[in-house]
Chains A and B, each alone.
Chain A
Amino acid sequence: MTTAIVTGASRGIGRAAAIEMSNNPEVDNIVLIARDEVKLSETIGLLNPRVRARAIVYDFSSQEGIPSMVKEIYDEFGSIDWLLNIAGYTDPKSLLDTTLDSMEITYKINVFSLVEMTKECVKYMKQNEQSKILNVASTAGMTPRPGWLSYASSKSAVISISETLAQELSEYNILVYCISPGRAATDLRKKLAPEEDPTTIMQPAHVAKVIGNLMRMSEHCLDGQNMVVRKQVK
């Protein structure tokens, strides 16, 4: 039995990744997490019906409820095998317009919730023969742009966290993957580049395909490395 948790599954890359997971015969159960209940149900409607799916409405602006949520998932499905940390948030602003509140909410969603989700899941993953964690960082974490202070730095943190945990968790055979997508046509990208034509750039399904391939593999050779997923500009 393989149970996969996908955060940020109501839209964009997270939704596409959930669909991709549902087409993987290894996966039996999928748990989708985000705030928008209606959109989560829409995602469930798009999944391959062979999987058992459950949607959980949770707001990652706070972390207090994460331990009990993860425990409930474990109690319901009997194991937690894969965790895909995809939920993300951005509020692009120049330094002088950036408030610590905006910085804090970005870090809470992109970093603190990712750490707390990982920590709670690892408690159960340690009982498995093998488990996998996939974190979605961003090329912004390596090559930031002016005005992306909070977002880019939070994504740098995700890259570093993934590298640390790949080493720290290898004793338990928990593989930690980190991908950094370039621009992909989603609501989040619209916020970062409102003028861009979304049809010309990478689509969420492209990123999801890469995620799907990574999760299918069980070799150790790509864990702990920040992998860039980018469509070349023609």
Chain B
Amino acid sequence: MISLVLLSSGSGSRMENSVPKQYLSLGGKPIIIHTLERLAKVKEISEVVICCTEEYMEHIARLIKNHCPQLNYKLVKGGKTRQESTWNGIQVCENGSVMIHEAARPFVKINEFERLALEESENAIYGVEIPFTVLKGNGQIDETLDREELVNVQLPQKFNRDKLLDAFEQAHANNKKFTEDASLFFEYYPNDAVKILEGTVHNMKITYPIDLVIGETIYREYVLGSETN
């Protein structure tokens, strides 16, 4: 069995909205609910640990009661950074295997959770190729990068829980900051293979206001299928 940590403590500052993006509506229901409803149907996941600000705990509990009351979940206070929030979440996970996902990625499919759960490698992430060029630089070009060697990292991801926890503790002790968990894990466990499964471009993160507009189309065409319009 697997525990899943769902990151939902983002403030949505890039969204130009006082309500964090994961609570805004998409396809007629809150963004966070898209993921939670699907998680409630994934047999391999026995608990969902939701990291959120205290202010939204009651709100989330009410949404779950309305939309997917069968979900087994815990609410955990998020930290000041994404890294702290994930750390808080994995500390309370009951299972030896843990997945991480974020509430702002509502287009993840049930079979993507299932495929990750059934993946033999105990550490695995989703990734997609980068269709544009990325350069290293700051005001001027310092270095070119070969995009064939680069991966656009997605969630969900899966790790050995004890090792991931240890990696977080080391990062904390060294005061090292990471924007994403696979990079943090790799830093401290470079010899533990982290498999990259091919993700889909639809599994985007809602970040900017324009993403909500694009997201409605993805929901209609990709989630509901082309026969609904």
Chain A residues engaging chain B, CB cutoff 8 angstroms: 123, 126, 167-168, 170-171, 220
Contacts and interface: CB of A to CB of B under 8 A. Distances in A.
B69 to A, nearest CB: 7
B130 interface: no
Contacts of B227: 220
Contacts of B37: 126
A171 B67 CA distance: 13
B39 to A, nearest CB: 14
Contact of A167 (B68, B69, B223, B228): B228
Interface in B114-161: none
Contacts of A168: 27-29
Contacts of B27: 168, 171
Nearest to B223: A171
Interface in B204-229: 223-224, 227-228
B69 A220 contact: no
Contacts of A123: 69
Contacts of B223: 171
B228 A220 contact: yes
Contacts of A167: 28, 228
Contacts of B228: 167, 170, 220
Interface of B: 27-29, 37, 68-69, 223-224, 227-228
B223 to A, nearest CB: 6
B215 to A, nearest CB: 14
A6 to B, nearest CB: 26
10 contacts: A123-B69, A168-B27, A168-B28, A168-B29, A170-B224, A170-B228, A171-B27, A171-B224, A220-B227, A220-B228
B34 to A, nearest CB: 9
A220 B227 CA distance: 8
Contacts of A220: 227-228
Listed from nearest, the 3 A-B pairs whose CB atoms lie closest are: A168-B28, A170-B228, A170-B224
A225 B37 CA distance: 27
A115 B29 CA distance: 17
Given A171-B27, A220-B227, 11 more contacts: A123-B69, A126-B37, A126-B68, A167-B28, A167-B228, A168-B27, A170-B224, A170-B228, A171-B223, A171-B224, A220-B228
A220 B228 CA distance: 8
A123 B69 CA distance: 9
Contacts of B29: 168
Nearest to B34: A171
A171 B26 CA distance: 13
Nearest to A119: B66
Contacts of B69: 123
B145 to A, nearest CB: 39
Nearest to B27: A171
Contacts of B28: 167-168
A12 B198 CA distance: 57
Contacts of B224: 170-171
A123 B71 CA distance: 13
Nearest to A224: B228
A171 B68 CA distance: 14
A53 B135 CA distance: 70
Contacts of A170: 224, 228
Interface centre among A123, A126, A167, A171, by most chain B C-beta atoms within 10 angstroms, is A171
Contacts of A126: 37, 68
A161 to B, nearest CB: 13
Nearest to B37: A126
B140 to A, nearest CB: 48
A120 B27 CA distance: 20
A80 B37 CA distance: 19
Contacts of B68: 126
A154 B227 CA distance: 30
